Structures are given as C-alpha cells and as structure tokens.
Structure 1
Amino acid sequence: MLRRRCEVTAMNGWKSLALLALLGSAACPAPAAPPPAAVPTALPETAVQPVPSPEQIVAIPPALRALLQQRVIAAGTSREQRLERLVHLIFDEDGMHLEYDPYATSTIAETWQTGRANCLSFTLMFVTLARAAGIDARVQEVAQVVTWHQDEGVIYNVGHVNVGLTVNGRTAVVDLDRNVLYDRYGPRPITEQRALAHFYNNRGAAQMADGNTAQARAYLDAAIAMSDDFPAGWNNLGVLDTRLGRLDQARHDYEKALELQPRHVAALTNASALYRKLGDTRRADRLAVRLQQVQKTDPFAQFRLGNEAEQRHDYANAIDHYQRAIRLYGTAHQFHFGLARALFLAGDSRRASREMTRARDLSGENADTLRATYQAKLDSLQRWRQRTAAN
C-alpha cells in the first residue's frame, strides 16, 4: 500500500489544505482496452447479473449517513470545517480508514463495506457525501494525466477524475495525487450521467479482461445508455466486438468513438488495426497517419514514447521524444526529469544536471518532498561527475 497526500488545491485566494489520503498507480478511470492480439479462447460464461442502477451506485448506507450526520454535519458549523471533517471521516483510523484498490470500482455501499476504493469510487463517494453535508461538489474529468511516483519513475495514464468544490464562492480541487500532471485542458466538470458512464465502463472493461463477455456487454451498454457521447465506452465496445468476431459492429463502434473524438488515440489505434485486418489498407493507413499527427502535437504521447524508448535502452530516441514533449509543454517537471534521466544514461551528465535542476525548480514551492528528492538526485549526480573528473 502506497500512502500519499490528498491535496485540496485552492483557487481564488483559498489557502491550500493538505490532508492524508492514499494513492495507487493505476489510471482512474481505467484506461481504454488495447486492441487484442488475437481472439482469446472463450471462457464459460456465468449468468449475467443485473447492473446496479444509478440510484444504487450513489446510495448512502444508513450507518454511513448516521456517521456523516454526527461527525461532519452536526460537528462543523462552517462549510470549510465540514470539508475538513469529511476528509478525516473518510481516511482516519476511527472513520472509514479507506484504502486504495485500483480494481475497486465500487458503489458507495460496497466501499463502505470493504473500506476499499479506486479514484473513481472515491470521487463518486466524496461528491455524494459532500453534497449531503451541504457542500457544492462535482465530478471533474481530465482526459490525460502523468503521475509522479517518487522513486518509481512516472506513469502515463489515459484518464483521471477528481472532485471540484465551491465553498463560499471560492473554488478548489480535491485530488488523491498531489503530483499529478494534467493535460493542457485541465479538470473539467462533467455531468452525473458522464460520471456514471465511467463507472459502468470501468466495470465493463474489468469483466472483459476476465473473459466475461456477456457481463462486459451489459456494463458497456449501460455506459453508452448513460452517456452516448462517451468515446471510451464506444472504443471498449469495439474491442469487445472485435474479440467476439463481430467485425462490422466493431467498425461501427470505432467510427462512433472517432466521430465523437477524432484524436482519440486508442480508437485510432484499434480502428487502424481492424481495417488492416479487413483488408482495407487505404483506410488503415489514413488512420495511422492521423495517429502519428496526433502524437506529434501531444506532449503526453511524446512523453509516453520517450518512456517506452528508455525502457528499450534506446536513449537517443528517448531524448528526442522527451525534448519534443518539453517543447510542447515546457513547465512539466516530470518531462524534464525524464530527459535528465535519459541524458544521464546516455552519458551526458552535464546536460542531465541542467535538466535535473530545471525539474527541481518546476516542482513547486509546496512540493517539499518532491523538491528534496530532486535535490538529492542532483547532488548524487554532481558527486558522480566530480569523481569521474578526478579519475
């Protein structure tokens, strides 16, 4: 279990409030499923269970409602006090003592029972409880994020959700990861229907991964019924239909995803592979070219490609991609650190030191632990250079 800090990031002059929380490494919501390499061997289907209704997903259990009334609503006179008490109720040992589980896309009742949740489950629960306590809260969506894990490198995620708040006219964001890097658009409020579509889509992807295709379809159909303009849901339906050999339907699914979001990387990748499988190489090539164009202008895609090249020990290519990412998004400390690491591994310690310094300076005044980590790495690099020069 990896403990991090949940940060209430203030805007409009509201002082930032850092509170204990939990963070894991999985994307939240779950990433769109990749194209299958081959149709897997069919597994015995279990009976399809009814999907929970929207009301069941966000229903507050009576015991939790009583605790909310006692420890948050009755005990806090102001909304700021209620907000702080709500966070303590969720994470303190004498409260829910919530633990992170990347696979726990859960209803509020299930989260209350198990004490486990992923980012999406946490966000749905937090927003629901906050509203019950008289706090203006909403689910927010980020299309892409990069998450920094102190000594474990960086992880590229396709999506993320967090909580948006308005308290006494001032706005703030509650996020499980204080070191998350948002894409250029940042968090955007979404409707309740879209948030619930994420829930059904996550569960559908999980069922598909387990080989329960009928149950997966029930959840993915529910996601589309909840929000038919949800490209991730259509893409995952395309993956499911491809796995089942329903290639004409899969083509429709991917085309719908790309109609809604022409730059959707997973749908572009999957659709291109499908058209190639169908023998339509002209359309496959056209989509592949579009994918390359999207990646060239997307700093997150360039960062991911750099990370993949680094894992292959192709440091020259990694440096090239990291530099492109920085040209597109120059204030991301994660990108500068990636470049510093690749430069060091390529033997260019002087430029690596410069990029490490830049990463440290960009990490933010409040990110004391991260700044200290960068400084320690920078000191280690400088000592290594001194020893090398002495020899």
Structure 2
Amino acid sequence: MQYRHLTAYALLSLSIGLSACSTAPLNLPAPHATETQSLLHLEDQFHLNNLATHFPDPLAITPEMKAFVKQHVPESLPEVGRLRYLTEALRNPRTFGISYHSGLTLTAAETFEQKHGNCISLTVLFIALAKEAKLNAWVNEVVENQDQELLADNRIAVYKHINAVVQLPNKQVVVDFSDLGDAYLRPQQRIPETRAAAQYYSNRGVDMLGENQLGLAYQYFKRALQLDTGTSYIWGNLGTLLNRMELYTEAEIAFREAYSLDNNDHTALGNLERLYLNSGKKSEAKQIRQVIVRRQLNNPYWHYGIAKQAFEEGKTEDALRSALRAIRLDNSEYRFYYFAAQIYRELGDRDNYHKFGIKAAMMRKAAQDAE
C-alpha cells in the first residue's frame, strides 16, 4: 500500500563549498524568547492589520467524504477488513483513483474533491477517511537525513516525509504515500495532528512565497508557528520570507531560532551564512562556512547527493568517486550500493555492476525481512 510523497519542505539559499578547513565550535546563541515572539507580530510590515485570513482545518471531513466511507467500507467488517476496503477504494480508478501531484498542498476535503495532491494532502485525506471508518489512525513522520534531499537540489528544499499509521489488534500498518517503496523501512515517529497541521500551513506559506504573495506567506508561517514552535524548518521558512522583505535583523533571529532547535539544520546555517555575507559580517560567515564544510565532508548523504548531481551532469567518474565515498562513510545504506551499481553499468563495468547490485538487493531484502 504505497503511494507517492512530497511533504513539508524548507526553503534555503545554500551554496556548497568543498575546501577543507579546520573548525572551531560554532558559537551561535539562541535568541531570547521575546525576540522570537516578536516575529509573530509583524503585521504592519506586511500591511495586514485589516486583512483577516481563514485557515481551513486540514483534517476536516465533508458529507461527501462520509458518504464515500459509508459506501465503500462496510462497518460490520473487522478493523483489518475496513483498512483493506478503504485503501482499495482509494486506489481503484473505478471508485476513486487517488494520484500524486507534487505541487499541490491541499486539505483533506480539497484532496478528496480533486483526487490528487502531495504527500501531506494524501495523508490528511487518508487520516480523515480512516477515522470516519472508525480506524485508529495517526500521522507519522519518517526520520530522514535532510542532506539527502538538500543536495538533490541544494537551492530548493529540505524534505520531511509524512505517512499514516493504522493500529490493528495485533500490529501497526504503515500507509505510505511515497515514491520510495522502502520508506516504511526507515525510522519513523508519531507526530501530533497539530504538528501535521503546522506542516500543512508551512507548505502553504512556501507556495505563497513562490507566488510572491508575501503577506499571505507570512500569515501561513505565523499560523504554523502558533501550532508548533518547536520545528526548526518552519522558523527557517519564516526567516527566508523576512530576508526577502529585507528585514535582516528579524531574519537573523528566525534563522538562529531554527538552528537552536536543531543544530543539524544545515538549511538554517546556510541561510545565516549568506545573510552574514550580505551584511558584511565576514568573520561570522566564515565560521559558519567552516562548520558546513566539515559536516558535509563527513556526511555520507552529502556525498550521495553530489554523486547524483554529477551523474545527471554526465560526470560519471566523479559520480562514482562520490558514491564510493558515501559507502565508506556508511556501508549500511543499500541505496548507496544501488546507485553505485547504476554508475558501474553506465561505465560498462559489468562485474562491479552485478556485485554492487546484488549487494543492494540483499541489503534491502534483509531490511524488509527484519520489518
């Protein structure tokens, strides 16, 4: 029961450097609570004092959705049967035909009406319908190394994968709307619905920022932070907006808050580095750059991302070197072996193509069996 994914994403303006440097510990104190709270009261900067925005409930269910469940999910069935009937009804083109669309962050009701959406959209739809079918369902966040998606397109986004979990009498079943068929094998954690809603509003804010509707973007980010002040990338998204507005002091506070919540948030570091460079704080920018470079060079997912980028650019030998470096740093990730096999095939090295391909297949099967 696999679907496709998108999920909450974080804006960044991070350029990558490769020079090795010695580094000192990063001294980046967290902003005071009064500073961060002040960022949620900037309506004057966006001329929003007289503008009221309606924030829909992402999980709200409509009469049509209730009728769908009643028609396709017999309430007399046990939980496992209700789950099966619901997922089959959603997948079957004759009854619904759900599909993935990366550019759409929708509520459950909107997703039901349009029959497609991104990962958050599809997940909130499933959760709403599952609850109507009297299933115990909740939102799950797949713990993913952010650098992987960061370097797949290092000027756009960091992704967090979202899926759903249903509790059956003797087991939990993951329903994952992901184009990565193995997403259910990765570490996951339950998150409250308020955090899922915050991710929805944050994504909507990013959508508005992309459309240059800065006032709406601010309102969505503010709403997200009213629900969840503890997620770093939402503060980072707000910082990107404030930077766009040339509110540099406020943007720095937002980026520092993001980093204080997650000191592995390379997005926040990259944005801070650029902010400091643009404001003439070269010493602070250099210190951050050194930390970023050190972390990149020791991060297998960074090398994996570099390998993918080089491969797409036709730099096959460079791609192989980076893929093998990723394997040396982490020999437990089957995707590294699988990608190395692809590179060897492109190079015409059949022996290593088979060697690494078989290794990847065995590692993936072992992970599936363990699950």
Short-chain TM bin: 0.7 to 0.9
**1:104–1:117 Cα contact (<8 Å) kept:** yes
Residues in 2 aligned to 1:180 and 1:325: alpha-carbon distance in whole angstroms: 21
Residues in 1 aligned to 2:347 and 2:293: alpha-carbon distance in whole angstroms: 26
Q: Deviations over 1:257-284 (max 9, x none)?
A: 0000111121111111111111112221
Query: SS at 1:52's partner residue?
Result: coil
2:124 aligns with: 124
Alignment of structure 1 residues 181-192 onto 2, 5 Å: 186-192=187-193
Q: Deviations over 1:150-177 (max 9, x none)?
A: xxxx999622101122110311211123
Residues in 1 aligned to 2:197 and 2:233: alpha-carbon distance in whole angstroms: 13
Residues in 2 aligned to 1:184 and 1:94: alpha-carbon distance in whole angstroms: 30
Residues in 1 aligned to 2:344 and 2:106: alpha-carbon distance in whole angstroms: 43
Query: SS at 2:104's partner residue?
Result: coil
For residue 138 of structure 2, what is the amino acid of its counterpart? R
- The Cα of 1:107 is off from its aligned counterpart by 1.2
Q: How many residues align?
A: 329
Query: SS at 1:352's partner residue?
Result: helix
| More displaced stretch, 264-273 vs 175-184 | 175-184
Deviation beyond 4 Å, 4+ runs, structure 1: 45-49, 154-157, 180-185, 344-349
TM-score when normalising by structure 1: 0.75
| More displaced stretch, 110-119 vs 259-268 | 110-119
Q: Deviations over 1:138-161 (max 9, x none)?
A: 111124379xxxxxxx99962210
Residue 85 of structure 1 pairs with residue 85 of structure 2: yes
**1:137–1:165 Cα contact (<8 Å) kept:** yes
- The Cα of 1:98 is off from its aligned counterpart by 1.7
1:65 aligns with: 66
Residues in 1 aligned to 2:96 and 2:242: alpha-carbon distance in whole angstroms: 40
- The Cα of 1:347 is off from its aligned counterpart by 5.9
Query: SS at 1:289's partner residue?
Result: helix
- The Cα of 1:311 is off from its aligned counterpart by 2.8
- The Cα of 1:91 is off from its aligned counterpart by 2.1
- The Cα of 1:345 is off from its aligned counterpart by 4.2
2:53 aligns with: 50
Query: SS at 1:272's partner residue?
Result: helix
Residues in 1 aligned to 2:272 and 2:183: alpha-carbon distance in whole angstroms: 26
2:277 aligns with: 276
Residues in 2 aligned to 1:82 and 1:184: alpha-carbon distance in whole angstroms: 24
In the alignment, structure 2 segments of 5+ residues that lack a partner are 16-46, 147-151
In the alignment, structure 1 segments of 5+ residues that lack a partner are 1-5, 8-21, 38-44, 147-153, 368-391
Are the structure 2 counterparts of residues 306 and 70 from structure 1 closer, same or farther at C-alpha, using a change threshold of 3 Å? Answer: same
Provide the aligned C-alpha RMSD in A. Answer: 3.0
**1:145–1:158 Cα contact (<8 Å) kept:** no
Q: Deviations over 1:13-62 (max 9, x none)?
A: xxxxxxxxx43xxx62143112299xxxxxxx999661424xx3211111
| More displaced stretch, 94-103 vs 133-142 | 94-103
Sequence identity (%): 23
For residue 53 of structure 2, what is the amino acid of its counterpart? P
Residue 29 of structure 1 pairs with residue 29 of structure 2: no
Residues in 2 aligned to 1:264 and 1:157: alpha-carbon distance in whole angstroms: 10
2:36 aligns with: none
Higher relative contact order (CA 8 A, sep 6+): 2
1:380 aligns with: none
Residues in 1 aligned to 2:203 and 2:352: alpha-carbon distance in whole angstroms: 42
Residues in 1 aligned to 2:219 and 2:14: alpha-carbon distance in whole angstroms: 20
Alignment of structure 1 residues 1-391 onto 2, 5 Å: 6-7=1-2, 22-23=3-4, 28-35=6-13, 50-53=53-56, 56-74=57-75, 76-144=76-144, 158-177=159-178, 179-180=180-181, 186-346=187-347, 348-364=349-365
- The Cα of 1:112 is off from its aligned counterpart by 1.9
Residues in 1 aligned to 2:367 and 2:282: alpha-carbon distance in whole angstroms: 51
Residues in 1 aligned to 2:248 and 2:138: alpha-carbon distance in whole angstroms: 38
Residues in 2 aligned to 1:219 and 1:268: alpha-carbon distance in whole angstroms: 23
For residue 355 of structure 1, what is the amino acid of its counterpart? F
Q: Deviations over 1:203-244 (max 9, x none)?
A: 100110111111111111111111011111111111111111
TM-score when normalising by structure 2: 0.79
Residues in 1 aligned to 2:179 and 2:102: alpha-carbon distance in whole angstroms: 17
